[in-house]
């Protein structure tokens, strides 16, 4: 698995010398669980531009939250208007095809995620919880850019999974046109750190979403951090 060291990328981005290979040190790094990728002239050029604004990390202007990058406890934007607008546009287009979507879960605060995670741990144990629930600060639902979607049928019964509905069948090839990616893809679990979730949409804008869709990339691959 290819992982590029965040610290070095950040230093380079901040010092504005990301094109300069000569400055890069590949001294051993202390972070446990991180694999060091030796930076070369070749892969230096393709590192994302990293910015940290009020504790929120953006790469090439795209907010990133995953098991490695967290959001501050007080980051509390609510579901952003551009996301609501894109959702409305997409589900209206779906309705024209006779499809009925519902938003199952939208914005979640740090504290709500903490509660959810703790409940999961209490019920299923930590190992199981870690597979299905993000740690507080590590859920995309706190970003205001992500939500869970369902069909009216799948959302009202546990007998039908969203993956098997005509709504999902349509959405998987249409979501990018509205700026959404299916964030946690099948077969990419090792990269995203999350099991396949056909229902979890993340807004990244039409251009990035279309590029990821066309090339079959998840966000970490698109940003060249895995
Ligand atoms: Zn979700």
CATH code of 95's domain: 3.30.1380.10
Q: State in Å: Cα 201 to ligand 1 middle.
A: 7
Cβ–Cβ < 8 Å for 199, 150: yes
Cβ–Cβ < 8 Å for 75, 142: yes
Residues 207 and 98 occupy one common structural domain:
yes
Q: State in Å: Cα 104 to ligand 1 middle.
A: 9
Those residues whose C-beta lies under 8 Å from the C-beta of residue 144, and which sit 6 or more positions away, are 77, 78, 79, 80, 83, 107
Residues 57 and 85 occupy one common structural domain:
no
Cβ–Cβ < 8 Å for 21, 41: yes
Residue 82 to residue 56: CA distance in whole angstroms: 19
State residue 33 phi and psi, 5-degree precision.
Answer: 80, 0
Domain that holds residue 90: 81-222
Residue 162 to residue 172: CA distance in whole angstroms: 11
pLDDT in tens, 180-190: 999 999 999 99
Whether 75 is in a domain gets the answer no
pLDDT in tens, 47-89: 899 999 999 999 999 999 999 999 999 999 999 999 999 999 9
Whether 102 is in a domain gets the answer yes
Whether 72 is in a domain gets the answer no
Average of per-residue pLDDT across 9-16: 40
24 pLDDT above the threshold of 70? no
Residue 200 to residue 145: CA distance in whole angstroms: 11
> Which residues in the chain belong to E strands, given as ranges?
50-53, 56-59, 62-63, 101-105, 146-151, 180-184, 197-203
Whole-number pLDDT of residue 131? 79
How many structural domains compose the chain?
A: 2
Residues 32 and 96 occupy one common structural domain:
no
Whether 73 is in a domain gets the answer no
Whether 74 is in a domain gets the answer no
The pairs formed by 187-194 with CB atoms below 8 angstroms and a separation of 24 or more are: 188/218, 188/221, 190/1, 191/1, 191/218, 191/220, 191/221, 191/226, 192/66, 192/218, 192/219, 192/220, 193/66, 193/67, 194/134
9 pLDDT above the threshold of 80? no
Residues 25 and 123 occupy one common structural domain:
no
Q: State in Å: Cα 225 to ligand 1 middle.
A: 21
Adjacent-strand bridge partners of 204 = none
Confidence of residue 36 (pLDDT cuts 50, 70, 90): low
State what percent of residues in the chain have pLDDT above 70: 80
Residues 112 and 156 occupy one common structural domain:
yes
Whole-number pLDDT of residue 87? 98
Residues 85 and 56 occupy one common structural domain:
no
Which sequence positions are flagged as catalytic? 197
Q: State in Å: Cα 83 to ligand 1 middle.
A: 14
Numbers of helices and strands, H then E, in the chain: 9, 7
Residue 62 to residue 73: CA distance in whole angstroms: 19
Handedness of CA 3, 6, 7, 11 (dihedral sign): positive
Q: State in Å: Cα 52 to ligand 1 middle.
A: 24
Residues 59 and 95 occupy one common structural domain:
no
Q: State in Å: Cα 132 to ligand 1 middle.
A: 10
The pairs formed by 157-161 with CB atoms below 8 angstroms and a separation of 24 or more are: 161/198
């Amino acid at each position: 698995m290819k992982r590029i060291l965040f610290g070095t990328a950040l230093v380079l981005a901040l010092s504005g010398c990301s094109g300069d290979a000569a400055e890069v040190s590949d001294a051993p790094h202390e972070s446990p669980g991180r694999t060091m990728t030796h930076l070369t002239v070749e892969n230096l050029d393709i590192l994302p531009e990293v910015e940290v604004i009020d504790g929120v990390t953006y790469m090439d202007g795209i907010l990133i939250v995953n098991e490695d990058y967290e959001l501050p406890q007080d980051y509390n934007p609510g579901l952003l208007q551009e996301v609501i607008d894109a959702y409305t546009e997409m589900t209206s287009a779906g309705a024209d095809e006779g499809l009925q979507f519902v938003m199952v879960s939208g914005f979640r605060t740090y504290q709500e995620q903490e509660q959810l995670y703790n409940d999961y741990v209490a019920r299923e144990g930590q190992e199981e919880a870690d597979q299905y629930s993000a740690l507080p600060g590590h859920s995309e639902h706190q970003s205001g850019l992500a939500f869970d979607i369902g069909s009216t049928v799948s959302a009202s019964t546990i007998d039908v999974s969203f993956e098997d509905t005509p709504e999902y069948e349509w959405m998987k090839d249409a979501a990018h046109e509205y700026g959404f990616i299916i964030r946690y893809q099948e077969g990419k679990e090792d990269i995203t750190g999350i099991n396949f979730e056909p229902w979890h949409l993340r807004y990244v804008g039409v251009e990035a979403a279309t590029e990821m869709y066309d090339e079959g990339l998840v966000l970490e691959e698109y940003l060249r951090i895995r």
